[in-house]
Structure 1
Amino acid sequence: MTGASRVEVCIVACAEAWRGDGEILASSIGLIPRLAAQLARRTFAPDLVLSDGEAGLVGDDGAEGWLPYRAVLGIAAAGRRHMMMGASQLDRYGNQNISCIGSWAQPTTQLLGVRGAPGNTINHPTSYWVPRHTRRVFVDRVDVVCGIGYDQAAALGPPGNRFHEIRMVVTDKAVLDFQSPDRGMRLRSVHPGVSVDEVVAATGFPLQLPDHIPATRTPSDHELRLIRDRLDPAGLRDHELGR
């Protein structure tokens, strides 16, 4: 197969978020997370349960069953879901904002609203996909806390925070997580062709930098065939990074 594109590396990196999760509902918001969840199920995570986002369960060959929204809420509250969402802002502890930019009383930009982010982040693992890694997204402090990060979860304390986990953040430049002593955001890997300095410069707060920062793994030939021939033959993924 020809070499992997940046977006194909991102799809594989997002898929890795579900590795080891077993039989849970993989909820994905947006094209890249959806392709990633499908790729994970077809390769290393065959027990993942996938939804069409409405009322159906989907498998490799189409519809598999019925999953009404009331059942989704029950699964989420029981911690049996791993959601991958987007973020308009993220801070060093993983607090996420998708509500508005500026003050809550008089925002300069109105966004989606808080939506289900509080329930997602307190009840089950959550990861984030950010297609443009910039200082506008990675900020020192989010304007509104929608999805709660590690500092907010620590302040909440047990038992309310017992299911809280921000698994990873995948961007067009890198993979990040919170496996650091103070649960501050850590640089886990940089995508091929991206330097550590580029990621640091595009982040509005100090990142935790391990002594060794590897390159994000590239897709195998089998994964590339699945992405290109089965999951996204129309090439919609190529429009996701805004290059």
Structure 2
Amino acid sequence: MSTDTTTTRAEYCVVACAEAWRGAGEVLASPMGTVPAIGARLAKLTFSPELLLTDGEALIVGDAPALGAEAGTVEGWLPYRGHLALVATGRRHVMMGASQLDRYGNQNISCIGDWARPTRQLLGVRGAPINTLNNPTSYWIPRHSPRVFVERVDMVSGVGYDRAAAAGPSATRHHRIARVVSDLGVFDFDTPDRTMRVCSVHPGVTVRQVVEATGFPLAIPDEVPRTREPTAEELRLIREVVDPKRLREREVPA
């Protein structure tokens, strides 16, 4: 058992990501990134045991294996058509990344610069539109900066609250951006105008740091709490069961 009692920034991020799936019930967790993958496993092993996890390909696993390890229990087969059926019916909660994210939660993973002549080509739109309009979506940003948190995204891949509202009931019916987790804090859109709000900052981070690293005004409560501490059992699971190779520290260096 690890005797290190110091919680790292990466471990706070893992717990913050895990909280996105608290109380989710029997839905498919689709974490994209190392820290979200650890967070989803942690959620299943603790407060969300009904959460569905996959091996990253086509199997639903019954346990929460360490990153890079094979599952010990296989519960089912999830072909691509079955995966899409879960997406389109709201039975998945995906945590995606974002090259750009604005105050309303519009996400860009497609290109940087003007669409007609971009300065950088990225992943492309991929499944972001159907993700954001049909099932709960969260975002993980390992490097919080004004280059990511921008006033206006160059290309809309994932749909934010303002654009969903403009499109009408067919777009808003299942649209929900649950939370944004970065290496500085946790954010949501639970404001009257559905703009990004600071929920918590990680220990060692100030609200001023968050404001300076964000390219648009944030909604800031009078009292901003610290991101919650992981329990001793959660730390044990992170360090000894889910991520013994400390891959989390590569994504969020100590």
TM over 0.5: yes
2:30 is matched with which residue?
27
Please state whether the residue corresponding to 2:157 is helix, strand or coil: coil
The whole-number CA distance in structure 2 between the counterparts of 1:63 and 1:11 is 24
SS of aligned partner of 1:22 = coil
Q: Superposition RMSD on alpha carbons, in Å?
A: 1.0
How far, CA to CA, are the matches of 1:54 and 1:121 in structure 2? 21
Asked if residue 39 in structure 1 is aligned to residue 42 in structure 2, the reply is yes
Structure 1: 5+ residue stretches without partners:
none
Structure 2 residue 110 is the aligned partner of structure 1 residue 107? no
Out of 53-62 and 127-136, give the one that drifted further. 53-62
Matched, 1:230 2:241: yes
Q: 1:207 aligns with which of 208, 218, 239?
A: 218
Structure 2 residues without counterparts, runs of 5 or longer: 64-71
Matched-pair contact (CA < 8 Å) for 2:185–2:198: yes
Q: Which has the higher strand share?
A: 1
TM-score by length of 1: 0.98
Contact 2:141 2:181 in 1 (8 A): yes
The 2-side partners of 1:157 and 1:212 are apart by: 34
Q: Does 1:67 align with 2:78?
A: yes
1:17 aligns with 2:17: no
When normalised by structure 2's length, the TM-score is 0.94
* Partner in structure 2 of residue 132 of structure 1: 143
What count of residue pairs does the alignment treat as equivalent? 243
**Separation of aligned partners in 2, 1:25 and 1:234:** 25
Mean Cα deviation higher: 152-161 or 43-52: 152-161
The amino acid of 2:88's aligned partner reads A
Q: Alpha-carbon deviation of 1:65?
A: 1.8
Conserved? CA contact 2:31–2:94, under 8 Å: yes
Provide the C-alpha distance between the structure 1 equivalents of 2:160 and 2:253, rounded to a whole number of angstroms.
Answer: 27
Structural mapping, 1:86-125, within 5 Å: 86-125=97-136
Equivalent residues of 2:29, 2:53 under 8 A apart = yes
Question: Which of 62, 65, 78 lines up with 2:89 in the alignment?
Answer: 78
What is the CA distance between 1:242 and its match in structure 2? Answer: 5.1
SS of the residue 1:160 aligns to: helix
